[in-house]
Structures are given as structure tokens and as C-alpha cells.
Structure 1
Amino acid sequence: MIQAFGLTSTPRKELPPAVDDVSFEARAGRVTALLGEPGAGKTTVLRLMLELQRGRGVTHFRGRPLHRIAHPSREVGVLLGEVPGHPARTVRGHLRMLCAAAGVPVRRADEVLEAAGLVSLRDERLGTLSRGTDRRLGLACALLADPHTLVLDGPAEGLSVRESRWLHDALRAYAVQGGTVLYTTADPKEAARAADHVVTLERGKVVADQQAADFSRTRLRPRVAVRSPHAARLATLLAKEARTAHRSVEVVREGGNRLSVYGSTCADVGETAFRHGILVHQLAHEVGDMGPGAGTEERFGPEVLTVTAGNGPEPGPPAARGTDAAGAEQETDPSARPGPAVTAAKGPEPGQPDATTVAPTDARQATNRPAPASTTSTAATAVAPGNRTGSARPDPAPLQPAPTSALRTPAPAPSPALSLTPGNDPLGGASSVLPPPISVRSAPSPLRPLRYELRRVTGVGTGIVTGAVVLVLSAVTAVLLARVGHTPQPRLLAAWPREVPLPPAALGAGLLGALAFGDEFRHPALAADRGTVPRRLGLLTAKLVVSAATALLLAVLTVGCDAQVLHLFYGREFVRVPADWAALSAGWAGLTIGCAWAGVLAAGLFRSTTAGLAAVVAVPVVVVPLVQKVWNGQSVRTAADLPMRVREILLSQWPFGGERYVVAVLQALVQPVGSALALSLTALLCAYLLMTLRGRVR
């Protein structure tokens, strides 16, 4: 169950808030539609509920706000806009990556692929999916952690009739299993056809909170659309026969040769036209939209005339004016003007049914919607939620018609709304208690961060392409340096000219490290339901480990490839093993890993791949000259012969020659590039930790 109390967005400058004091309830086992025209505030309401936007109010998901739920993705499945993901990632790879983020078994990806009908498209790239397939994938992502609640923003927008029917059947099947479904739509006919409960928004306020049957009666009115060259004569005859038979029939002249007949059928209108020899060009059933406020307020207009049996003309509500015809399922003449209405009525006016006195009828029959048993027969097994802890679901069974009390009056707001909504003081006084503020919270860290990062890296070909480019560029550079000469062998094997601040391998490692966090912000798969990408130590550790392994592999492959190419072109003399290979290897590995880590930390700190790569390049260009000035400046004492003294100290404590590796690392650190890189990493790590702690304090 979802309970939203007093949702109010933060206004900008002098503008009114986009959402003002919105309170409603979405019950388990039912599909709830949040209806409103574009700009009514539907998406803002969802973002406030999910704590993606600052404002006021509180939303309870089965009695708990979202920030108090340990694993939100297991409680609420969310689809807001397009599916966030790298365009080059496959459908199956994207779902398997999200499985590691949600902490569910990887086999769940194949289960939701089958549920969404995407088994045949599992190897397709996200960037090539059609609109309908993207919606299916979005629903699969929302169902991945088997949540109790689904919150979807315009899931049927841009879909064909067939795809919309499939989507609504899937949502119906999920609700029948006991889940809570809340989705937004701008089409009132879709809401009446697919939902059990409809909450109507207009200008950021709730104007109606109704069951589907009440909504259909107060806003959607079925009618018979008639086109005839003798429309005026036919309207008079229909009103006369209705008055004689004491039936409530309303005839509206839409203009030209068009009539809208309310309270009758195509058969009755056709028989009347046939008996009197009137030619009819069109005779069809339609459903008209009376507007968001229909049924909640009276609307009068000068162009509507109501005639009742035994009385003269008197003004009445324009229950079916030009706005009614504009929302019809079939096209109308855009130049037609609404004419006078002739009504033969008995009892209440049909144009203004009272929502509190509607006779109890089956909501599904009133909206021409099939029974849930037949609806879910094909889709219930496809999207039926699996076994979950802490969420008892009843066995699949058809939904029963709403009780009489539920059809007569909207469901009352929960008692906490009285203290959370401004102006609703139960003691009768002016309440000054405002709804609690809503703070934007970052997405949770993946439950299995290392597995998530491995699937993220291997799911796209960026790393392979970058590595291939680095190897080719390094080989070409090494051949050219050997041909020119005057290049030491270590720099020759690393393809590092003196004029270039960093070798290709270090730049490639830095780029891959920057992409590790940069892709998260460009394609935020982790933050699809909770806002910004999280700065969590678990996720950072996983990225540092994977980037270090990738950089080390790239460094080894670069040296090996350069050695083979040099041996091929110039013989064995260029590939001799140096005497100080341990120190050189430690320095080479430290350089590539340090560049990769600098890219990771800078991209996570500044939320940009470009910033990560810029931080890598800034180390030799900016930081190294500063370090050299410090080391070469005047000083009383220096750290000369530090490695030799460390070797003397550690000789008795590190058997089997282990002190050589420590000395090699220290020799790399005392170099200008090593010192600059260590200093940059320390500064970036401290800044990253500071931002992480700052976010937690908020």
C-alpha cells in the first residue's frame, strides 16, 4: 500500500508550487492511475514520493518511508522516463548487471526476460530498441528485485494499441497477485479502462479521488455519434419520442450535421431514423471526456438549452458540449460549433450525476473492461512475483467488485493526514504544523559491488577498444624511438618519449579509470530510482580494485607487445632484461595503477569522465613541476640514499629477498612523477571522503 500525505514541491521564486498538498492512497491488489494533463504535476508527485526532489510531505510504502527501507529496490520497482543504460550494452547484460546491484541471483535476469517477452531480444543493444521494447525492458528492470510496489511514469506513452494492451494486462496480473501498482497517464479513457482507482490532478492539486466506476460515470459519458443531412429534424424526433416514452435522453447539436445523443443506443437512434425516412451517414458509439473537474463542480454556459418533459426551456449544465466531443475516440469536425441541447428527462439530470449517490454496479462492466480472471489468464504466469520475505501475497484470484460503500464515496484519507496537511486541525483551530521536509537522498550502493563492477566493465567493448588502441600506439611509438635512437631501454619498452608527459599505457589506464565512474553519471543505471549516483566506500573499493587489475594487465601487455615488435624489427639486443628490473617493474606498475586510480577518484569527485582524464594529464603537466621545485629548492637536510637505509633496516625482517620490492616502491615514490602521483592521489582521496561524509551528514 502507498500512502501519500501533503506532498508539496518547493516553489521557485514567485511561482506557485508545481504540486500543492497532494494526498491519496493506492491500495494493494489494485491498479491506481494518477491522471492529469501534461503539466498537471504527475511526475513531480512521483519524484516527491521517491525522494528524488526536495519538498514537503511524506509517503509510506507499507507503513515506512523510503529512506527507512534497507533495500528500496526490493520494495519499490520504478520506471521514470527512458531506461537508463549504456547504448552499447545488451539487454541481458544490463539486467545481469542490475542483478548484482540489487543483490539478487543472476538467474532472475532470465526470468524477467521471459516475463517481459524479451527472450528473443536478449542480445540486442539498448541503443537499437524500439519504444515498445524499451517499455518492456523498463518493466523488466522494475520487476527485477521482485518488489511489492510498482511506480511507473507514463509507461504507455508512445505505445501502439497492442503494446498498451500487453502492458495493462501485465500490470493487472501483478496487482491480482497482491502487488500495488501506481502509474501516471494523461488519457482518461486509458485510466478508466485499465485502473481500479483514479486520482485526478489539475494544476498540482487533487480534484477527484474516485473508484473506476465513479470516474467513468462522472467524467466519461458514453454517447451515440450521428451524422445526417437532416440532423435538426432527427434531433427533434429523438427528443419527442424520449419525452413520450419517459426516458432520459439528451440530444446535443454539435454543429453542422452532427449530433451527440446521450442515454440512448445505436439501435434506438437507427430505428427512429428508419421509421421517419431520415438518411444517416454515421452511427457509432463514442466515449467523451468531460474534463478534469467533471462531476466535482457545476459548469454552465450560454449555448446549452435543457428542455424537460412538461416544462419550458431552462438553463442546465453543459454536460456534453464541444469539449465533450473533443475528447471522443472518433474525429469530429474542427469547424463545428456546439448548438443548443434538447433534453427529455425524468428524474435527475443525466449531465450531472452525483458521485455520492451512484448506484452500485460492477466497475469492470461500467468501463467495458474484461474481468480480471480472463485478463490474467495469459499474463499472470509471466509477471507473477516470486516468493519474497516479508510480503504475503494471496493466491491468484479474480478481483471482486468494489463494495457499495467504496463506490459511493472515495476512500477516506488516513488519520495521519490530519496532522500533516496544513489547515486540517482536528480541534478546529488554525493548524501551523507543516508536512515534514523531503530530503534528496542518493542511491544505495550495490549489494555486490565487485560483481556489479565486473559486469559493468565487461558488458561493453570500451575497455577492449581502448586496450587495442593503446597496444597499437605503443608498438608504433617503440619502433620509431628505436629507429631514431638515443632512448634508454626502459623507456623504449614502455614507449615513453621524453617529450611526452605520459606513455600511452598510462593514458589508457587513466581513461579506463575515468570511465569507471564517468559512465555511472552519463548512464546512471544505479540511480534510476533514487537520484544521484552514490559515493559509497564499497563501490569505490570495487572500482579501485577492478581499475588496478585492468591497468596492471594493460601495463604487462604493453611491455610484452613492445618487446615482441622490437625483437621482430631489430633483433634480440633491444629486449634484454635490465639489471634493476624489479625497481623498474614496480615503478611501471605504480605509474599505470596510479593513473587509473586518479581517473576513478577525479571522475567520482567531479561526476565527469572529462574531469577524470584531465586530472590524470594534470599530474605530469602541473603537479610534477611543482614537486620538482620543492625537491630542488634550498634545504638543510635531504632524503638522499633513503632506499639504501631502508634496505639496511629491513634486511633482517624481510626474508627471501622481500626487501627488494619495498625498496623498488620507495625508489619510485622519490622520483618526481611518483611523488606527484602519490600527492595527487592523496588529495583526491581526501576530497572524495570529505564529500562522502558531507553527503551522509545531510
Structure 2
Amino acid sequence: MLQAIGLTSTPRRNRPPAVDDLTFEARPGQVTALLGPAGAGKTTALRLMLGLERGRGVTYFRGRPLRRVAHPPREVGALLGDVPGHPARTVRGQLRMVCAVAGVPASRADDLIHTVGLEEFADQRLGTLSRGVDRRLGIAAALLGDPHALVLDEPTAGLPPHEAAWLYGVLRAHAARGGTVLYTTADPKAAARTADRVVAIRAGRLVADQDAAVFARTRLRPRVAVRTPHAARLAAQLTREARAARRSVEAVTERGNRLYVYGSDCAEVGETAFRHGILLHRLAEETGPGPEPEPATDLQPADLQPADLQPIGLQPTEPHHSGLQPSEFWSTGPQLFDSQSTGPQSTGPQLPEPRPTEPQAAGAGLRAAVRATPGHPTPAPAPRAARRRGGRRRRGPLRPFRYELRRLTGVPSTAIALGGAVACSAVLAVLLGRHAATPPPVAVAAWPELLPLPPAALGAGLVGAFSFGDEYRHPVLPASPGATPRQLGLVLAKLVVTAATALLLAVAVAVVDLEALRLVYGGSLIPVPGNWPTLCVSWIALVVGCAWAGLLAAGVFRAAAAGIAAVLAVPVVIAPVVEDALLGPAVRTVAGLPARLREMAWPRWPREADRWLDGALRVVAQPVGVALALSLAVLLCAFLFMGLRHDTRW
């Protein structure tokens, strides 16, 4: 059971909210169509239900809000627009990465590839998929967690008829297993043909909630479609002649030059236009939705009849507004349905339905009392601590390390960045080794004075920047409201995986450069310095620090370019300032600090600590090291500040 109660989006500038006090439900075992024209607020309603957009209202998934569901991918599978994924990733790689998000084995990706018929496209890149294959991939991604509910936004848009029929068959099969299916569409005939229940909205408000059979009988009526520059004039003439002949004819104008005539045919409309000299651009008979009443404005208590208030909520009643026929009336108030209501029922497991304890809206401001039935008691409120934790609970991949590894290895940009860094380092090392005055550590690191950073540090910075940059550019994870960082477990996984990748890159560059120098110039020209442990630690710290700087900057500013800029700013902008502060003429030195500390802590001060303290001071005294440490501290504080300030919901 999926219940949306009082959904209202944030008002836009000088415009009403896209969704205004929308209440409906999608029952298990049924396919529910959310019908409305373009701009009616269908997509906004789905985003409000999934917590992807800020607004008011609540949505219950089998009696619980989504933020209180332990494993959201196993409760609801969503497809909003195209499949979000890196265009260079393969279909199989994309599904296996989503498996890590849903916390299911990677073998389920292969099973669903076979189920949706993607065997021949499994190794194809996402950027080369056709519209039909992309829809199949989206359905497979939504079904990976074996969810109870499916929420899809225009799933058949742009599909050929046979692909649309296949997709509707998948939705029907999911509903037959006891699942809940909700999809949006702008085609009333398709909704009446493929859905069990039709929920129609217009201007963000509910105008109908009917069974598909009732909707087809009362709303899909034969009509004459007319296109003329004088639509209002023709409508007036048709209405005048029908009134004189005592016939029921209704003319509805749309978009200025379009006219729909109900209760007439092409011959009568054409003759009327000919008699009055009205130019026609189109005249055709079709079957379409009947004229819709306007969404209800705010109702007052006096506007409700006693029969409108039922023991379980507000139920659709006979209209009391003048000018509407019973067969043409669409309920305008929000409705709450009992599980004993008529219509197909689910054969699958159900949880007790939530009974709101507050009155529900019957318009924009009215709240009517809702009482629970004896068989369905109102659930007890959650404890205060649970409510506080549930309101700020953040969700990410259920298996973050597996997700991050698949994300890192599933795109060619990682291999290109790492391979390019190793190749450039080897070439620069050989060129630097030609000069006898070049120190061996500089040649092995391939760090000439013309470059702000060695190629290994730049490559590690690229890997770190892409780690969060691709996360926002191609969001596989649900996008959260506001520019907030990702969930803490995912951030830790990214830091660990990025550090391990940078460490492997640092070791690989050092080994490859050293072997290249020995191969070209011989081993006798590359002596091993006595302080090689300190040099190795400094080298690894530089590469890993650049990777983390790119990662944190991309997470704060939500762009890979910001991460790369942060890495380059360390030696170009921050290091000169630090160098002036550390090596300026008025700066005092810390020479003799180990001896003074020994005097203060004697006899507990170990003699081996002098050597480690001297090495640490030499590392800290490097301007690039201090600048990198300051940058990491500032970026980490900004990252944590954004995470504490914004409320991210997963």
C-alpha cells in the first residue's frame, strides 16, 4: 500500500505550487496511473513522495514513511527520467554497482539482465543505448532490490508500441505478485487500458480518483477535434444552435486555437463553420477525455454535506455543485481509502494501514476529523528518540566499499588517469636524469621545477576529484535536497579506496621511474640516499593528500573541476604564502627543540624520539606539505559543516 497525504511542493516565485494538497493512494495488487497533462505536477508529486524535493505532506509505504524504512531499495524501486549513470559504463557494470547500493548479491544483476532481455546489450556502454534498451535497463535497476512498490515517471515516453506493451506486461506481472505499481502518463486512453485505477490531477490538485472501467465509461467520450483561429467564435455558435435545437452539445476551447466538441459530429460542426464563414484548419473525430472540472478551490465547512464525512475518511460523494452531471463529476477533495473498499485486493502480505490522527484536508485549508475503524487501530506514535533519529537519518549504499570499488573500476577514466600518470612520470624521470645536477629523489619523483606538482600527485588528484564529481554529474544514488555531502559510510569508503589507489600509484610511479633510470643510465648513477624512509613517507603523504584534497573539494562544491582546482591551488596559491610565513626574515627557527623537550621530560624522554621528531619537523617545514595539510583541514571542516547544517534524507 502506498498512501500520499497532503503533498504540497514549495511555492515558486510569483507562481502557485506545482503540487497543492494532493492526497491519493495506490493499492497492492493493482496498477495505478497518475494521469495529467504536461505541467500538471506529476513528476513533482513523485519526487515529493520519494523525498527528493522539499515540501509538505507525508507518504506511507506499507504504513511507514520512507525515511523510517531500513532498506529503501527493498521497499520501493523508482525510475524518474533516463537511467542515471556514466555513459562510459557498461550495462552489466551499472547493474552490479546498483546491486551494491541495494545490498543484494552481484549475481542478481545477471539474473535481471536475462529477465528483461538485455543479454546482447550487457557489455554495451550506456551512452550508446537506444530508448527502448534504456527503459529496460531502468526497469532492471528498479527491480534489483526486489521492491514491493514500483514508482515510474512516464515509463513509455518515446517507446514504440511493442516496447510499451512489453513494459506494461512487466508492471502487470509485478502487481500480480502482490506488488504496488504507480506510474505517470499523459495519455488517458493508455491509462484506461493498462491501469486498474486512474488518479487524475490538474494544476497540481486532485480532480478524479476512479477505477479504470469507471474512468473509461464516464471520461473517455467521442468528440470532434477542431483547430481554427476563431475557436471562441465557433464554440459560441455551436452552443447557441444546440440550445435552440434542445440538444446536449458542449464545446471546450484549449490553447487558443483548439476546440473539442462533445455530443456532435464532423458534419454538423463543419456545416456550422461554413454557414458563419469560420476557417477550419483541422476537423476530425476522436475518443478522448471528457471536459474536466476545475480543481476545487478552498472549501469552507459549510460546503460539506454530512455524508461527506465517513468513519474512515473523506469518500467521493455525489456533487452538490451546480452545472456538473453525475457522470462528469470528478471528486475534487482528497480521499482516504479503507482496505475493505471495493476493487481488486492484493494477495500478498500487507501491513496495517496508517490511520491519520489529524483531520485531513478537503481543499487547501479545511481539516475534517478522521476516525479509525475497530479492525484497523491507529498505530502508536514512535518514541521521541526514534522520531528524532528517523527525521535526520541518512542513507547511502548498503555496501559502500563494494559500491565504491565498482564505481572506481567501472569507467575508463580511472585507468586513463593512473596510466597517464605512470607514463608521464617515466618520461620526465628519464629527461631529468640526463642532468648530473638533478638530485636522485627529484628524478625518481619526476618533479621538475616547471610543474607545480609531480604527475603522480596530479593523477591522484584527478582520481579523487572524479570520485565525487561523477557522483553528482551522473547520480546513481538518490539526489538529496540541497548541496549536501553524501552519507558518512560512503564518505569513509571513498576516503579509504582513494587513499589505497593513491598509495598504489605512488609505489608504482617510484618503482617504474627507478627502473627506467637504471635501464637508461645504469644503477651506479642512482644511489640510495640515507634518509630514504623520510623521503618515502613524504612522497606517499603528498600523493595521498592530493587525492583527498580533490575528493573533499569535489564533495563540497559538487563538481570534479572544483576538486582539480583545489589540488592545483595547493602549490600555486597556498604554498607561496606558507613559504613566506615559514622562511621570512623575521621568522624564528625551532632548532634545538628535541634537546629542550628532553630536558623537560628527562628521564622519561626516549632517545629514539629525537630522530623521529627531527624527521617530522623536516617534513612539516616543507611549504607544500604545510599548504596541503592546511587545505585538507579547511576542506574537511567545510565538508562536515555542510553535513551538519543540511538535513539529507536517504
The answer to whether the aligner puts 1:392 opposite 2:362 as a matched pair is no
Counterpart contact for 1:513–1:600, Cα < 8 Å? yes
CA distance in 1: counterparts of 2:134 and 2:120, whole angstroms: 14
CA distance in 2: counterparts of 1:354 and 1:497, whole angstroms: 83
SS at match of 2:549: helix
The answer to whether the aligner puts 1:448 opposite 2:399 as a matched pair is yes
1:260 corresponds to: none
1:133 corresponds to: 133
SS at match of 1:354: helix
Aligned-pair CA distance for 1:175? 0.7
AA aligned opposite 1:620: P
CA distance in 1: counterparts of 2:164 and 2:481, whole angstroms: 27
Matches within 5 A, 1:619-638: 619-633=570-584, 638=589
Q: Aligned pair in 2 of structure 1 residues 615, 622: CA closer, same or farther (>3 Å)?
A: same
Counterpart contact for 2:82–2:134, Cα < 8 Å? yes
Matches within 5 A, 1:527-538: 527=478, 534-538=485-489
- Corresponding residue to 2:238 among 299, 303, 314: 303
The answer to whether the aligner puts 1:418 opposite 2:360 as a matched pair is yes
AA aligned opposite 1:455: R
CA distance in 1: counterparts of 2:627 and 2:485, whole angstroms: 28
CA distance in 2: counterparts of 1:510 and 1:643, whole angstroms: 35
Q: Deviations over 1:345-383 (max 9, x none)?
A: xxxxxx9772689xxxxxxxxxxxxxx9xxxxxxxxxxx
Aligned-pair CA distance for 1:537? 2.5
Aligned-pair CA distance for 1:623? 1.4
1:469 corresponds to: 420
Q: Aligned pair in 2 of structure 1 residues 115, 55: CA closer, same or farther (>3 Å)?
A: same
Counterpart contact for 2:52–2:479, Cα < 8 Å? no
Counterpart contact for 1:84–1:528, Cα < 8 Å? no
Q: Aligned pair in 2 of structure 1 residues 146, 531: CA closer, same or farther (>3 Å)?
A: farther
TM-score, normalization by structure 1? 0.71
CA distance in 1: counterparts of 2:602 and 2:570, whole angstroms: 31
Q: Aligned pair in 2 of structure 1 residues 306, 681: CA closer, same or farther (>3 Å)?
A: same
CA distance in 2: counterparts of 1:491 and 1:33, whole angstroms: 67
CA distance in 1: counterparts of 2:411 and 2:214, whole angstroms: 51
Counterpart contact for 1:587–1:665, Cα < 8 Å? no
2:379 corresponds to: none
Larger radius of gyration: 1
AA aligned opposite 1:24: F
Q: Aligned pair in 2 of structure 1 residues 147, 216: CA closer, same or farther (>3 Å)?
A: same
Structure 1, unmatched stretches of 5+, are: 224-251, 256-299, 340-350, 358-371, 373-384, 386-390, 395-412, 429-438
2:249 corresponds to: 317
The answer to whether the aligner puts 1:673 opposite 2:646 as a matched pair is no
Aligned-pair CA distance for 1:680? 1.3
AA aligned opposite 2:154: G
CA distance in 2: counterparts of 1:253 and 1:640, whole angstroms: 92
Q: CA RMSD in A?
A: 3.9
SS at match of 2:590: coil
AA aligned opposite 2:591: A
Aligned-pair CA distance for 1:69? 2.2
AA aligned opposite 1:625: P
Aligned-pair CA distance for 1:528? 5.5
Matches within 5 A, 1:159-308: 159-221=159-221, 302-303=237-238
2:549 corresponds to: 598
Counterpart contact for 1:80–1:152, Cα < 8 Å? yes
* Percent of residue pairs identical: 55
TM-score, normalization by structure 2? 0.76
2:151 corresponds to: 151
Counterpart contact for 2:92–2:123, Cα < 8 Å? yes
SS at match of 1:550: helix
Aligned-pair CA distance for 1:318? 3.2
Counterpart contact for 1:33–1:195, Cα < 8 Å? yes
Q: Aligned pair in 2 of structure 1 residues 529, 580: CA closer, same or farther (>3 Å)?
A: closer
Aligned-pair CA distance for 1:645? 7.9
Q: Aligned pair in 2 of structure 1 residues 356, 541: CA closer, same or farther (>3 Å)?
A: closer
Counterpart contact for 1:443–1:527, Cα < 8 Å? no
Q: Aligned pair in 2 of structure 1 residues 550, 356: CA closer, same or farther (>3 Å)?
A: closer
Counterpart contact for 1:467–1:508, Cα < 8 Å? yes
Aligned-pair CA distance for 1:442? 9.3
Counterpart contact for 2:394–2:487, Cα < 8 Å? no
Q: Deviations over 1:227-275 (max 9, x none)?
A: xxxxxxxxxxxxxxxxxxxxxxxxx8999xxxxxxxxxxxxxxxxxxxx
Counterpart contact for 2:444–2:513, Cα < 8 Å? yes
AA aligned opposite 2:238: E
Counterpart contact for 2:359–2:368, Cα < 8 Å? no
1:579 corresponds to: 530
SS at match of 1:314: coil
SS at match of 1:104: coil
AA aligned opposite 2:473: R
Q: Deviations over 1:50-101 (max 9, x none)?
A: 2222222222222222222232222111111111001111111111111112
1:280 corresponds to: none
CA distance in 1: counterparts of 2:400 and 2:602, whole angstroms: 37
CA distance in 1: counterparts of 2:491 and 2:603, whole angstroms: 35
CA distance in 2: counterparts of 1:99 and 1:253, whole angstroms: 49
SS at match of 2:250: coil
Task: Please say which of residues 194-203 and 55-64 is displaced more in the overlay.
Answer: 55-64
Matches within 5 A, 1:506-655: 506-527=457-478, 534-633=485-584, 638-641=589-592
CA distance in 2: counterparts of 1:539 and 1:650, whole angstroms: 46
CA distance in 2: counterparts of 1:178 and 1:542, whole angstroms: 36
Q: Aligned pair in 2 of structure 1 residues 645, 150: CA closer, same or farther (>3 Å)?
A: farther
AA aligned opposite 2:260: T
The answer to whether the aligner puts 1:483 opposite 2:428 as a matched pair is no
Aligned-pair CA distance for 1:532? 6.4
SS at match of 1:135: helix
Q: Aligned pair in 2 of structure 1 residues 520, 659: CA closer, same or farther (>3 Å)?
A: farther
Equivalenced residue count is: 549
CA distance in 2: counterparts of 1:175 and 1:304, whole angstroms: 45
1:45 corresponds to: 45
Matches within 5 A, 1:294-373: 302-303=237-238, 313-318=245-250, 323=260, 335-337=281-283, 354=327
Task: Please say which of residues 192-201 and 664-673 is displaced more in the overlay.
Answer: 664-673
Q: Deviations over 1:421-451 (max 9, x none)?
A: 64334379xxxxxxxxxx9989722222111
Counterpart contact for 1:52–1:441, Cα < 8 Å? no
Aligned-pair CA distance for 1:575? 2.9
Aligned-pair CA distance for 1:561? 1.6
Q: Deviations over 1:613-657 (max 9, x none)?
A: 1111111111111212221246685322557888999999999x8
CA distance in 2: counterparts of 1:566 and 1:165, whole angstroms: 65
